[in-house]
Amino acid sequence: MGSLGAILKHPDDLYPLLKLKMAVKHAAKQIPSEPHWAFCYSMLIRVSRSFSFVVQQLGTELRNAVCVFYLVLRALDTVEDDTSIPTDVKVPILIAFHRHIYDRNWNFSCGTKDYKVLMDQFHDVSTAFLELGKGYQEAIEDITKRMGAGMAKFICKEVETIDDYDEYCHYVAGVVGLGLSKLFHAAELEDLASDSLSNSMGLFLQKTNIIRDYLEDINEIPKSRMFWPREIWSKYVNKLEDLKYEENSVKAVQCLNDMVTNSLIHVDDCLKYMSALQEPAIFRFCAIPQVMAIGTLAMCYNDINVFRGVVKMRRGLTAQVIHRTKTMADVYGAFFDFSCMLKSKVDKNDPNATKTLSSLEALQKTCRESGALNKRKSYILRNELKYNSVLIILLFIMLSIIFAYLSANRSSY
């Protein structure tokens, strides 16, 4: 749970944090008894605790399909991410991965920690996959095939242009959006969304992760992982790794802001996709990660710490997002508030300031026109004076208790 200092500064975080903690514990107790399903759901919790909580809210049939889908793609991603695997070994595995999921006996040892466990016991995932309905199997196989082929292509190809960047993000995340739309449709719970909107849902999340994870990726051993497009970073430095050096701090932040601005082009599509969803559980499943993404971008924008460590939303705010994201009005409100936070950080001397502000103003216009902004209380934009007042009141109460205790002890002598 969040630290005491953070909770004192943001007291409204306490209830959502407690609720999230209880929900995660409840999800852990809901693990099925069959060994292969038990492995899948316990592994889901281990590799993505917050995602596992959202998945648990889906109906049983769709929940099982999404769980397997996520683990299959996480395994595929583990192969791609392991820079110790020689290219001539890695590429054939990526290309054939969609066939391996039908083989209960297949596994390939790679990755570290929980991801190694996933790969070593992948037969349990395959067993669960083979119990899904045919419509779910076909959707998962199709997306796995497309993603594996795309990953293989970019093992041998660097991300040079913005078009390359969009193509790479399509293969590793956009197709996930397409696959989820197919699963929702196969469950007869949603209309089949357009490929372009589904793709944007994935691209927005992936670009956010690529921005946030710059330092981790560039410091990867034995070989750096480079996903920022040369077309963007070459305007600021000679080599991508130069962005992490202190002498390049000004240029690094300008490049970062350029990357964030590029990601904002997908926001309108994401809002359109979410506004068309009908099933409440599916809506929350899709909306919570999107709100987390715009929040993460607001935190990362203009922050040199992206090149020094990890920049992310505080745990309490994450709990607030999960607790409060229930309707499209909540999404419009959160996107509006995080865009205000991001807008307040724009330096008018930044090379991309005009472009950034234009994107943010368009987003804010969409949120205003939804008519939802007057119907909610913001939990994102807070008046610091309010928190200072809370701290003063708490301090006063504590001093009063201490004074009363000392006075009582003094009178007893």
Q: Cis peptide leading into 351, omega within 30 of 0?
A: no
Of the candidates 128, 135, 131, the one whose C-alpha atom is nearest the C-alpha of residue 31 is 128
123 Cα distance to chain centroid: 27
Spatial separation of the C-alpha atoms in residues 206 and 263, rounded to whole Å: 9
Give the alpha-carbon dihedral of 255, 261, 265, 269, to 10 degrees: 120
Contacts of 250 (CB under 8 A, 6+ apart): none
Give the distance, in angstroms, between the CA of residue 357 and the centroid of all CA atoms in the same chain: 24
> What CA–CA distance (Å, rounded) separates 274 from 297?
19
For 66, other C-beta atoms within 10 Å of its C-beta total 24
Contacts 24+ apart (CB under 8 A), 220-229: 220/83, 221/83, 222/83, 222/84, 223/83, 225/81, 225/83, 226/158, 226/159, 227/159, 227/165, 227/168, 228/159, 228/165, 228/255, 228/259, 229/159, 229/160, 229/161, 229/162, 229/164, 229/165
Q: Which residues are catalytic?
A: 168, 212, 225, 285
